[in-house]
């Protein structure tokens, strides 16, 4: 999409042209514009893959910790059977789906955080995107999770 189609940016150069720039890219300023495009593509792809690898490692560690927390068990005394039995503290389905609902809100939150930076004012997307998405994710998805649990669990 050309920069002339963006509000307030008519006539300004694109990120990939000399004098153009975004929040982060180009990393090395206008001197980067004179590099071979193939080299720039390779460097940015390596950087992108490195970021994906970092996210994968963090997500793996995070999910391992969540599994440990949600698999916690306690011993309770059953009065009807007159003996102790082991029960899970968390219902794993509800715990994992609640985390999925929270995780699915992350793109909207990050999008709005990035949109705030140039002017430190609310973007066109605004906080209503976050609030609406979070409300749906936390209320509707959690309600479906609760309804899906069989009676007695």
User: Rounded CA gap, 86 and 73, in Å?
Assistant: 6
Alpha helices in the chain (DSSP H): 37-70, 92-104, 106-116, 126-135, 142-148
Query: What does the pLDDT read at residue 146?
Result: 82
For residue 138, give Cα distances in angstroms to 3, 18, 80.
37, 45, 37
Number of CB atoms found within 10 A of residue 26's CB: 19
Query: What does the pLDDT read at residue 1?
Result: 44
Q: Of 99, 32, 29, which Cα lies nearest the Cα of 64?
A: 99
Report helix, strand or coil for 137: helix
Query: What does the pLDDT read at residue 115?
Result: 76
Torsions phi, psi for 88 (to 5 deg)? -80, 145
Burial 92-116 (b: 16+ CB within 10 A, else e): eebbbbbeebeeebeebeeebeebe
Query: What does the pLDDT read at residue 23?
Result: 63
User: Rounded CA gap, 96 and 111, in Å?
Assistant: 24
pTM of the model: 0.50
- Cis link prior to 37 (omega < 30° from 0)? no
Full pLDDT tens readout for the chain, 153 residues: 444 445 555 667 776 677 777 667 777 777 777 888 898 889 889 999 999 999 899 888 888 887 888 888 889 888 888 889 888 888 877 777 777 776 777 777 777 777 777 777 776 766 777 777 777 777 887 888 788 888 876
């Amino acid at each position: 999409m050309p920069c002339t189609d963006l509000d307030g940016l008519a006539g300004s150069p694109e990120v990939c042209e000399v004098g153009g720039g975004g929040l982060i890219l180009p990393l090395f300023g206008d001197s980067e514009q004179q590099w071979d495009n193939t080299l720039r593509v390779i460097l940015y792809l390596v950087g992108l893959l490195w970021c994906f690898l970092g996210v994968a490692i963090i997500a793996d560690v995070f999910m391992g910790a969540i599994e440990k927390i949600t698999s916690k068990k306690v011993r309770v005394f059953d009065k009807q059977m007159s003996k102790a039995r082991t029960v899970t503290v968390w219902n794993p389905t509800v715990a994992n789906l609640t985390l999925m609902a929270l995780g699915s809100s992350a793109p909207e939150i990050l999008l709005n955080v990035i949109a705030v930076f140039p002017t430190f004012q609310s973007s066109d997307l605004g906080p209503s995107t976050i609030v609406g998405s979070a409300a749906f994710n936390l209320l509707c998805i959690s309600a479906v999770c609760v309804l899906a649990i069989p009676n007695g669990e």
